């Protein structure tokens, strides 16, 4: 099998390479830079990303390397006004009921190392300069580290090449959206904080928005904020000392050393296509949005897992090319929804003017304070932010309903005693879950096709999670439910796979 060409070794490209390698698909990963990213842009890793990493046998390593934030504190007018405690809100929903603070540069290095352990080395200082889709394959031009021009043939090209994507430009897809007016800064500092190291802090009111993420027990802290007056016109020469420090100080943060400081503009855009023939876009190449909620990198990683099993299925001859269209159907729909939501939140956070300031200083903290005391609201917010709520009910490859679970849903996570229904999860492949009993012929049919069958003795906990006794839940390799059916027969499974094969 020829290698799938992955342009870009950021978190999206690296995760795609890991997921494809894990399914026996050979890859070639190139990046125009001479080493992994050194800027710790994305700070948070969400529960759904960790669940996808669990399938790579990587989640515990990432969790051990990061810093679990179980609480978010919101400040207004120099006072802590509301705290959202995630720990208990997510405890019954996922093995990872927290927001993991783990800077992107460290994260990327860990992914590169894991890939190397699997025998894949990222080809550095290698740039994709052009390509042609012949219909039968893609012919791509690369400029390699020693300045040579190289032509490669690949069955599929995936552009994981970031917001300025060459692949997207060459495909000529629209990148609809806009750019926010405010200038943002990001600073890596050493600082003393008012609260425990596990707390992230946000100041909503006053002239400047600021978010504070401690990510190391040695007092390393990431600050993200806005620069909103005439200083924003001098972005190139701006230093940390030039930004207004009131908001930072009002949080009780005392900065002793600045290790790194940078400014940036925030865009909100989604590509009009995620697939054109044999070429795909994933991660920032396909969608960019405000850092509100820390969703960008996590969304790219989820794109990668979604695309990887589909490419593997087609390349192994288990599914027809049409399956690849469901990548755009599923992931573009989510990206558009995400951009809209983060846009609304971000526009509110950064809005100027008397009324907006009043709402941010008085109304929002009161609402957040009330929300913090409602289990229902905290659970909803955790589900939203952690991306465990993401589903694909409208996808062309989602089918059926059994209990409250529909085709396209993430399988509800249920813990019974010391075990949970996601374990053993360190494999990527189709699984059939049955809660209750399964017919021997169904079991035999799956065994013949390499589909793992997992039967869980029925208990009330499954009913509470919305699962139906004795129904079939066919899980795709990314652990979303493909088919949910009360018709617990071989025929139901055979029909589903026959449709995928066309
Ligand atoms: C300040 C800031 C804070 C952020 N905070 C968060 C957060 O808290 N949580 C979150 O989830 N996200 C956050 N993000 C967003 C996050 O950083 C991005 O979403 C993420 O880096 C996207 O990963 P990617 O792999 O898709 O693209 P990138 O990380 O941009 O990687 C693209 C790679 O492609 C390579 N490349 C480009 N062109 C070519 C070419 N022609 N040939 C070969 N290689 C090429 C580049 O060298 C690069 O390594 C933040 C972003 C910023 C700027």
User: At residue 399, what are phi and psi to the nearest 5 degrees?
Assistant: -145, 140
Nearest to 397 by CA among 465, 274, 309, 295: 309
Angle at 65 between CA 119 and CA 295, to 5 degrees: 90
Residue nearest to atom 4 of ligand 1 (CA): 42
Residue 33 CA: nearest ligand 1 atom is 47
Could you tell me if 361 and 77 are in contact, meaning their C-beta atoms sit under 8 angstroms apart? Answer: yes
CA dihedral 71, 76, 79, 83 (to 10 degrees): -20
- pLDDT score of 352: 64
Instruction: Determine the distance separating the centroid of ligand 1 and the alpha carbon of 480, expressed in angstroms.
Output: 26
Distance CA 286, CA 307 (A): 13
Could you tell me if 305 and 15 are in contact, meaning their C-beta atoms sit under 8 angstroms apart? Answer: yes
Could you tell me if 25 and 315 are in contact, meaning their C-beta atoms sit under 8 angstroms apart? Answer: yes
SS3 53: helix
Distance CA 492, CA 438 (A): 14
CATH code for the part of the protein at 401-501: 3.40.30.120
User: At residue 200, what are phi and psi to the nearest 5 degrees?
Assistant: -95, 145
Which of 108, 162, 293 for mutating ligand 1's site (highest number of atoms within 8 Å of CB)?
Answer: 162
The token pair at 187 is 């600073």
What are the CA-CA distances from residue 74 to residues 42, 81, 110 (Å)?
20, 6, 32
Instruction: Determine the distance separating the centroid of ligand 1 and the alpha carbon of 11, expressed in angstroms.
Output: 7
Residue nearest to atom 41 of ligand 1 (CA): 128
Q: Which protein residues touch ligand 1 with a CB less than 6 Å away?
A: 7-13, 30-33, 41-44, 104, 127-128, 160-162, 166, 186, 264, 283-284, 291, 294-298, 300
- pLDDT score of 205: 60
Residue 186 CA: nearest ligand 1 atom is 1
- pLDDT score of 349: 62
Residue 36 CA: nearest ligand 1 atom is 49
Angle at 365 between CA 360 and CA 371, to 5 degrees: 130
CB atoms within 10 A of CB 276: 18
Rg for the chain, CA atoms, rounded: 23
pLDDT in tens, the chain (502 residues): 899 999 999 999 999 999 999 999 999 999 999 988 776 688 899 999 999 999 999 999 999 999 888 777 777 777 777 777 766 778 889 999 988 989 899 999 999 999 999 999 999 999 999 999 999 999 999 999 999 999 999 999 999 999 999 999 999 999 999 888 778 888 999 998 876 666 777 776 655 678 888 887 778 888 888 887 777 677 778 888 888 777 788 788 889 999 889 888 888 999 999 999 999 999 999 999 877 678 899 999 999 999 999 999 999 999 999 999 999 999 999 999 888 877 776 676 666 666 566 655 666 666 666 666 777 777 888 888 888 989 999 999 999 999 999 999 999 999 998 889 987 666 799 999 999 999 999 999 999 999 999 999 999 999 999 999 999 999 999 999 999 999 999 999 999 999 999 8
Could you tell me if 92 and 133 are in contact, meaning their C-beta atoms sit under 8 angstroms apart? Answer: no
Domain extent listing, the chain: 4-37+104-176+268-345, 401-501
pTM of the model: 0.92
Nearest to 207 by CA among 381, 344, 352: 352
Instruction: Determine the distance separating the centroid of ligand 1 and the alpha carbon of 37, expressed in angstroms.
Output: 9
Instruction: Determine the distance separating the centroid of ligand 1 and the alpha carbon of 180, expressed in angstroms.
Output: 18
Q: Which CATH class is domain 4-37+104-176+268-345?
A: alpha beta
- pLDDT score of 346: 67
Q: What is the side-by-side strand order in the sheet with 127-133?
A: 127-133, 138-143, 149-154
Instruction: For 382-404, give one letter per residue: b (16+ CB within 10 A) or e.
Output: bbebbbbebbbeebebbbbbbbe
Could you tell me if 408 and 480 are in contact, meaning their C-beta atoms sit under 8 angstroms apart? Answer: yes
Instruction: Determine the distance separating the centroid of ligand 1 and the alpha carbon of 9, expressed in angstroms.
Output: 9
Task: State the DSSP code for 251.
Answer: T
Instruction: Determine the distance separating the centroid of ligand 1 and the alpha carbon of 127, expressed in angstroms.
Output: 16
- pLDDT score of 357: 60
């Amino acid at each position: 099998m020829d290698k799938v060409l992955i342009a870009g070794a950021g978190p999206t490209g690296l995760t795609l390479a890991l997921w494809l390698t894990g399914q026996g698909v050979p890859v070639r990963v190139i990046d125009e830079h001479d080493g992994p990213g050194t800027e710790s842009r994305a700070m948070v890793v969400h529960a759904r990303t960790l669940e996808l990493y669990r399938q790579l046998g990587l989640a515990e390593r990432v969790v051990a390397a990061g810093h679990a934030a179980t609480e978010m504190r919101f400040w207004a007018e120099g006072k802590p006004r509301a705290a959202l405690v995630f720990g208990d809100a997510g405890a019954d929903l996922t093995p990872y009921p927290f927001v993991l603070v783990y800077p992107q540069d460290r994260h990327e290095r860990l992914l590169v190392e894991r890939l190397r352990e699997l025998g894949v080395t990222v080809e550095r200082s290698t740039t994709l300069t052009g390509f042609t889709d012949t219909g039968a394959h893609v012919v791509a031009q690369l400029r390699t580290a020693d300045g040579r021009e190289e032509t490669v043939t690949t069955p599929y090209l995936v552009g994981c090449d970031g917001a300025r994507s060459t692949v997207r430009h060459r495909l000529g897809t629209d990148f609809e959206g806009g750019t926010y007016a405010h200038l943002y800064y990001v600073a890596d500092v050493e600082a003393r904080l008012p609260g425990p190291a596990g707390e992230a802090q946000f100041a909503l009111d006053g002239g400047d928005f600021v978010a504070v993420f401690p990510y190391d027990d040695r007092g390393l802290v990431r600050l993200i904020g806005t620069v909103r007056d005439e200083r924003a016109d001098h972005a190139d020469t701006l230093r940390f000392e030039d930004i207004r420090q009131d908001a930072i100080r009002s949080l009780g943060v005392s900065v002793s050393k600045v290790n790194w400081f940078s400014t940036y503009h925030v865009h909100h855009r989604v590509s009009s296509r995620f697939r054109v023939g044999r070429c795909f876009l994933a991660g920032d190449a396909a969608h960019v949005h405000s850092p509100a909620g820390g969703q960008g990198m996590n969304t790219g990683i989820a794109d990668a897992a979604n695309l990887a099993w589909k490419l593997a299925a087609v390349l192994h001859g288990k599914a027809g090319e049409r399956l690849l269209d469901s990548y755009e159907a599923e992931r573009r729909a989510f990206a558009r929804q995400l951009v809209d939501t983060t846009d609304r939140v971000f526009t509110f956070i950064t809005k100027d003017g008397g009324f907006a300031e009043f709402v941010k200083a008085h109304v929002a903290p009161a609402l957040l304070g009330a929300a913090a005391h409602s289990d229902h609201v905290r659970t909803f917010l955790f589900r939203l932010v952690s991306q465990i709520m993401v589903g694909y009910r409208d996808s062309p490859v989602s089918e059926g309903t059994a209990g409250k679970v529909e085709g396209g849903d993430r399988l509800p996570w249920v813990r019974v005693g010391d075990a949970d229904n996601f374990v053993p999860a360190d494999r990527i492949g189709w699984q059939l879950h049955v809660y209750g009993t399964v017919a021997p012929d169904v079991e035999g049919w799956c065994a013949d096709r390499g589909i793992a069958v997992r039967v869980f003795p029925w208990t009330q906990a499954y009913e509470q999670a919305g699962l139906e006794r004795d129904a079939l839940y066919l899980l795709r390799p990314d652990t979303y439910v493909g088919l949910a059916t009360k018709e617990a027969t071989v025929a139901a499974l055979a029909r589903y796979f026959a449709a995928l094969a066309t």
